[in-house]
Structure 1
Amino acid sequence: MSSTVRRAGLAVAAAALVLAGAAYGVTRSTVANAATQLTGTQLVADMGAGWNLGNQLEASVNSVPGETAWGNPVITQALIDRVKASGFKTIRIPVSYLGKIGAGPNYTVDAAWLNRIQEVVNYAYNSGLYVLINMHGDGFKSVNGSWLICDASDQTTVKAKYQKVWQQVATKFAGYNDHLIFESMNEEFDGQYGNPTQPCYSNIVSYNQIFVDTVRRTGGTNASRWLLIPGWNTNIEYTTGNYGFSLPTDTYRASSIPSGEQRLMISVHYYDPWDFTGQEDGNITQWGAAATNPAKKSTWGQEDYLDQTMKKMRDTFVAKGYPFFVGEYGAIDKTSADPANNTYRANFAKAVVSTAKKYGGATAYWDNGYNGQYGFGLFNRSSNTVTQQGIITAVITAAGGTSTSSPPVSPSPSRTSSSPSPSSSGPGGTGACRIVNAVSAWNTGLTNNITITNAGSTAINGWQLVFTLPSGQTITGGWSATYSPASGTVTATNVSYNGSLPAGGSTTIGYQATHTGNAAAPTGFKLNGASCS
């Protein structure tokens, strides 16, 4: 996504912010354990659902990158833990270098900045997630200090600088296994929307070749690492069509890679139709077959268009052994204009993920950290809590993962404000309900997903689950139920979509909590008054 669009909607204007420029140190060790090399098909399946860290390491003021420069808080391990606990298996981390690059001919990248990038990568990598890092804002003409410009006159200097920066980044991470993927650049084009121009596209192709050669020659795992290659503006049509894209040769890859396998992926983004996904007005708020108001639905870019577009990626690349990665997709929040908008945002996300998966691709949702009108946020990065569980559920389940609730498929009131269904029957007898806790804890916080199973012989229509939190724990946010009070003996009450539990049926609810050292699971579960096993 372009920096202009990405920055729009952030609560604090970048021009008014002062860059927090302190040097960062590495606090977590690098994991360099070997990992089994996967084929393209296996890799895409294993990457599962992906999420973007967004602007954090891309943001800049006066050409100096800084993670708080556009209004987001400092990145923490707790945030990444929360993202993982929500079911995501891959995190894309956009990175800008800009003024952190020294003068030629060495173009030395500031060591403190490289260390901070490594520290953030480690948050995810050491947790077992796939991580993608790229060169992001350096190619946007709208960004002060940008230099990776495909129609700049001095391409010799541009290419030398590009090569030196990637050499340093690749060397920094040479010992990481193939859960780390490098992406050469982001949305690189001449800044003019329309058909690609030459020789600008030729220079983009050259950048990709320099990237592949440079990374491979640094050795270590880089010789066989999966590398992500974009075409013109990461646009699917301009990458699959006859506009000038060509794959780089992979001359220097490790000899251990079977000759019939690739180690290159194709990078694309998907924001069609833009009047629904990104245009900041309240006119087009619905998408897909479930839309109820034609006046609020775009005239193009629906399920059939999505399918045709993703199929081009399969036919052009996947069929030849090159998987693809939709590194960005999503839709902004227009609930201020249409309360049902989140339903369609979730339906759109589900469709993108499932269609990409159908045709051999993986995906990463674009989250710019901003919640509210026109924001893409799925999480509150200050409290490390979920803000859009419906969209998360849609993404995780479409990717084949396990989610905490079912995605919306038709317009409905906001789940967080739904009233519980009345209870008409409950499980009878001790042991008529079963509980499974799944606690994920960090320094002073935790998440717990609770699976409730009706082990009785009759259906439950409306339920309340009572349990006791360990001392020192306080619930700060929850999903798929309402919780009261926040500590001590808590009552979780069903919401509108999960109040009915047939005999043998299950539902999963969850919450995030703080703790003072005891991150144990709650105890004493009772469902509608009956003790659970």
Structure 2
Amino acid sequence: MTAGINHVGICPPMGMRGIIMTSRAVKLFLAVALGAAVSLPGVEAGATSRLNASQVVADMGAGWNLGNQLEANANGVPSETAWGLPAVTQGLIDRVKAAGFKTVRIPVSYLNHIGAGPNYPVNAAWLNRIQQVVDYAYKRGLYVLVNMHGDGYKTITGSWLICDAADQATIKAKYQKVWQQVAARFAGYDQHLVLESMNEEFDGQYGNPTQPCYSNINAYNQIFVDTVRKTGGNNSSRWLLVPGWNTNIDYTAGNYGFTLPTDQFRSSSIPASEKRIMISVHYYSPWDFAGEENGNITQWGRSATNPAKKSTWGQEDYLDAQLKLMRDTFVTKGYPVVVGEYGSIDKSSFDSSNNRYRADFARAIVATAKKYGAATVYWDNGANGQFGFGLFDRRTYAVTHQGIIDAIMGGLAGR
């Protein structure tokens, strides 16, 4: 996991199964093998395919991240329990839905579950488990965002999607093969499933983007879009989510080198005027409030009572300007924006009023994103207590921060 400054997007750190195929999975596997698109039980195929950009953002509602589970690993081998959390269950996802969330983002690492080239086969049991966890949310009618998460972090053992590594031809071939397998697995799923190319991809150095690293990130996004589309089925028309440099708003919307992928292999059934690509950014600004693990800055926003505990930047005006930039650059051109991660860590052990400001922060992000046509997905790393992002206890499913959940739902509802 990474940490940093300069209002970049970061996956906050939290300390460092094989599954028998379900009948649903078998049906999909056989259908994909035969080149057919299928309808899965309980979900109308193509049910959301007619939603335009603004409609799909509204339909996604409030989002929640299943963080530190399927992207967790032990010595480069992905395992959902590697970082101390229990295996994901249907009961947990049902509790998240009951709390009002309509979208679940599932970060996934592949790492050493990828075999040797030239075919780079992904471990079948791992793909089965990914699909099973996806189904926990998908079969409940939720939107599900699935990405490639830790494979691009230099700090992670087994990482390989490195934008400034020497052998880009091999990296790109591997990336293409992995996404080909993942996309084929989900070709029959309707538009409630959104695939996301990668997570916080950059060279590991905070500051202005560098070349040729940014060009390689653009190339990865293009490979992703082309590969998913070519697998057919509903993949030819589903929404796809791509980030710019480190999911940073300025480096994605500004003149720093981001290039939107073309979508030449998209289904001809989608009108040419409609886009089916979304833009991913993260929001943890100001970092000294949202993610810095100390008690120095514990308050945020216009309601802060102690100026010494409030950051000198990153307040409501900054938030508004950042999301307006995304609206002006992408949303107005038909490309929805997804704030795929946001939130702030628990510093209530230093300041008993901290959770009030964490709720204010969440409410403001959700409300401002809605104002500018973006969807939001709260980062939950499963950790509660000091420096945690958790909203639920993943063992008991109990809500641990109802105030923050209420703020998220209130921001979405305009209250």
State the distance in 2 between where 1:42 and 1:264 align: 14
State the distance in 2 between where 1:302 and 1:247 align: 29
For 1:210, give the aligned amino acid. Answer: I
Shift of 1:142: 0.3
SS state of the match for residue 391, structure 1? helix
Verify: 1:215 aligned to 2:228, yes or no.
yes
Q: How does 1:188-199 map to 2 (within 5 A)?
A: 188-199=201-212
**Structure with more strand by fraction:** 1
For 1:44, give the aligned amino acid. Answer: V
- The CA deviation string for residues 30-51 of structure 1, in whole angstroms up to 9 with x for no partner, is 6263113210000000000000
State the distance in 2 between where 1:352 and 1:202 align: 30
SS state of the match for residue 385, structure 1? coil
CA contact (8 A) 2:57 2:373 kept: yes
Verify: 1:36 aligned to 2:36, yes or no.
no
For 1:50, give the aligned amino acid. Answer: G
Verify: 1:2 aligned to 2:14, yes or no.
no
Aligned length: 392
Output the TM-score relative to the length of structure 2: 0.92
Verify: 1:179 aligned to 2:174, yes or no.
no
Q: How does 1:150-299 map to 2 (within 5 A)?
A: 150-299=163-312
Of 108, 114, 118 in structure 2, the residue corresponding to residue 105 of structure 1 is 118
Structure 1 pair 256–9 and aligned structure 2 pair: CA distance change class (3 A):
closer
Shift of 1:213: 0.2
Structure 1 pair 3–171 and aligned structure 2 pair: CA distance change class (3 A):
farther
- The CA deviation string for residues 112-158 of structure 1, in whole angstroms up to 9 with x for no partner, is 00000000000000000000000000000000010000000000000
Of 105, 129, 136 in structure 2, the residue corresponding to residue 116 of structure 1 is 129
Shift of 1:364: 0.3
Shift of 1:307: 0.1
Of 4, 11, 18 in structure 2, the residue corresponding to residue 23 of structure 1 is 18
- The CA deviation string for residues 83-114 of structure 1, in whole angstroms up to 9 with x for no partner, is 00000000000000000000000000000000
State the distance in 1 between where 2:153 and 2:21 align: 29
State the distance in 2 between where 1:105 and 1:7 align: 34
Of 300, 320, 324 in structure 1, the residue corresponding to residue 337 of structure 2 is 324
State the distance in 1 between where 2:247 and 2:19 align: 32
Q: How does 1:65-84 map to 2 (within 5 A)?
A: 65-84=78-97
Shift of 1:28: 6.9
CA contact (8 A) 1:2 1:187 kept: no
Aligned-residue CA RMSD (Å): 1.4
For 1:254, give the aligned amino acid. Answer: S
CA contact (8 A) 1:6 1:55 kept: no
For 2:358, give the aligned amino acid. Answer: R
**Sequence identity (%):** 71
State the distance in 2 between where 1:160 and 1:92 align: 26
State the distance in 1 between where 2:298 and 2:90 align: 34
State the distance in 2 between where 1:395 and 1:28 align: 36
Structure 1 pair 140–395 and aligned structure 2 pair: CA distance change class (3 A):
same
For 1:315, give the aligned amino acid. Answer: D
- The CA deviation string for residues 363-416 of structure 1, in whole angstroms up to 9 with x for no partner, is 000000000000000000000110000000111221239xxxxx8xxxxxxxxx
**Structure with more helix by fraction:** 2
Q: How does 1:85-484 map to 2 (within 5 A)?
A: 85-400=98-413
For 1:137, give the aligned amino acid. Answer: G
SS state of the match for residue 343, structure 1? helix
Shift of 1:6: 5.0
CA contact (8 A) 1:3 1:140 kept: no
For 2:24, give the aligned amino acid. Answer: S
Structure 1 pair 114–203 and aligned structure 2 pair: CA distance change class (3 A):
same
Shift of 1:27: 4.1
SS state of the match for residue 367, structure 1? coil
Structure 1 pair 247–7 and aligned structure 2 pair: CA distance change class (3 A):
closer
Structure 1, unpaired ranges of 5+: 15-21, 402-406, 408-533
For 1:23, give the aligned amino acid. Answer: G
Q: Which has the higher contact order (CA 8 A, sep 6+)?
A: 2
Shift of 1:24: 1.6
CA contact (8 A) 2:67 2:379 kept: yes
- The CA deviation string for residues 156-195 of structure 1, in whole angstroms up to 9 with x for no partner, is 0000000000000000000000000000000000000000
CA contact (8 A) 1:29 1:122 kept: no
**Which protein has the larger Cα radius of gyration, Structure 1 or Structure 2?**
1
State the distance in 2 between where 1:318 and 1:2 align: 28
State the distance in 2 between where 1:52 and 1:375 align: 14
SS state of the match for residue 24, structure 2? coil
Structure 2, unpaired ranges of 5+: 5-9, 26-39
Structure 1 pair 269–374 and aligned structure 2 pair: CA distance change class (3 A):
same
Runs of 4+ in 1 over 6 A off after TM superposition: none
Verify: 1:52 aligned to 2:51, yes or no.
no
Shift of 1:55: 1.2
State the distance in 2 between where 1:110 and 1:137 align: 16
For 2:18, give the aligned amino acid. Answer: A
Output the TM-score relative to the length of structure 1: 0.72
State the distance in 1 between where 2:100 and 2:173 align: 40
For 2:44, give the aligned amino acid. Answer: N
